[in-house]
Amino acid sequence: MANPHEPHFFKPLLPGFHSGVTIPLGFFSKHIKGKMNQKIWKLRSDTSDKTWEVIQEGRRLTGGWKDFTTAHDLRIGDIVIFKHEGDMVFHVTPFGPSCCEIQYTHPHIIKEEADADDAADDADDNEHHHKIRTWAMSSFSFDYCFLAEVTASNLKEDKLHLPVGATSSTALNKQCQEMILVNKEGNSWTVSLQFSESGGMYYIGRGWRKFCLDNRCDIGDLFVFNLIGDGKTTPLMCVCSESKECSELLSKHLSRKKKEC
C-alpha cells in the first residue's frame, strides 16, 4: 500500500484503458508539471524485477503502457496505485474491483525478454497466469453498461434512477448504502445508493447533482456508465471511455430521439 508521505494517486481502469491513462490534474500540477524534464516513466511492481518504460504525452501515459497492462493481466474494473519513488520511478500496485490487492501465484511470473527457445514456456506461464486471475475474478461484474441522461428533474430531485436491468447485476445488493461515481479522468464522488421496493429499481440519491455540477454538465448531456463490483464491497459506476459498446448505446439513443422528432 502507498505510504501517505510519498506522492501517489490511483486510477480505476475503464473500458479502453489499454491505449493509455490520464494522470490526475492535481497530481500532475503538484509533482510533475515544470519539475520533471523527463517524459519517460519507469514502472515497477512486486510481481517482477523488471522495469517498464512508459512514455508521458501531456497528462497521459501512452507508449509502453499497454505492455505493462498486458504483462500484469490488468482488466476493466481493476484499480492501480502509482507511488512516486523519485526520478520518474513509480511503484505500481494493482487491486481488483473488491479493492483487495491482486495476488499472483508466482512472485516472478512476469519474465524478462525471453529467447526464442523459451517462447513456448513463456506462453504456458502466461496462460497459467491468466487462468489464475480468471478464477479469482469470476465473482465480479464489470460488463453492465447503461445510458444515463442529465435532466432538469433528476438535477432538481438530486436523484438518478438506474435501469431495471441493473437489479440483476451482481455488483449491487440492497444492503449497500453508497456508490462511487468515477469520471473519465479518474476523479471520484461518493453518492448514496438506495433501492425502491415499490418501483423495483435502484437509484442514486444524495450526490448526483454535485457530480453533474462538478463535471459541468448541461441538461441533455449523456453518460454511458459501466457498473463494477461484487455485491459485497462499495460498487463503482464509471463513465465509459470510447468503446464499441458505448458507441452502440449512444447510437440507439440518438436514433430513438430522431424518431420521436
pLDDT of 1-10, one tens digit each?
A: 444 457 888 8
**Model-wide pTM > 0.85:** no
Q: Is 260 helix (H, G, I), strand (E, B) or coil?
A: helix
Tell me whether strands 236-239 and 178-182 are parallel, antiparallel or unpaired: parallel
Please state, in angstroms and rounded to a whole number, the distance separating the CA atoms of residues 44 and 146. 35
Residue 83 within a domain: yes
Q: How many domains does the chain have?
A: 2
60, 76, 95 - which closes a domain = 95
The CA distance from 139 to 142, in Å, is 10
**Per-residue cell: 215:** 463535471
Q: For residue 60, tell me if it sits in a domain.
A: yes
Domain that holds residue 36: 8-95
Q: Are residues 159 and 222 in the same domain?
A: yes
How far is the CA of 97 from the CAs of 10, 32, 56, 197, in angstroms? Answer: 13, 28, 26, 27
Structure-model confidence comparison of residues 253 and 188, the more confident one: 188
**145-191: pLDDT as tens digits:** 788 899 999 999 999 999 888 888 888 888 888 988 888 777 788 89
Q: Are residues 189 and 247 in the same domain?
A: yes
pLDDT given at position 122:
47
Say if 73 falls within a structural domain. Answer: yes
**What percentage of residues in the chain have a pLDDT greater than 70?**
72
Whether residue 63 lies inside any domain: the answer is: yes
Together in a domain, 86 and 150? no
The verdict on residue 109 lying in a domain is no
Say yes or no: 78 and 166 in one domain: no
| pLDDT class of 92 with cuts at 50, 70, 90 | very high
User: How many Å apart are CA 189 and CA 208, to the nearest integer?
Assistant: 9
- Residue 169, domain member (yes or no): yes
Residue 196 lies in a domain: yes
pLDDT above 90 (res 254): no
Q: Are the C-beta atoms of residues 158 and 208 closer than 8 Å to each other?
A: yes
**Domain harbouring 197, CATH code:** 2.40.330.10
**Are 172 and 252 found together in one domain?**
yes
All three cell numbers of 57: 504525452
229 with 171: CB under 8 angstroms? yes
Work out the angle at residue 240's Cα, subtended by the Cα atoms of residues 235 and 243, and round it to the nearest 5 degrees. Answer: 135
Q: Is residue 79 part of a domain?
A: yes
Contacts by 210-219, CB closer than 8 A, 24 or more apart? 211/181, 212/150, 212/155, 214/187, 214/189, 215/183, 217/150, 218/150, 219/150, 219/151, 219/152, 219/155
Cell numbers standing for residue 26:
492535481
Among residues 66, 95, 124, the one where a domain terminates is 95
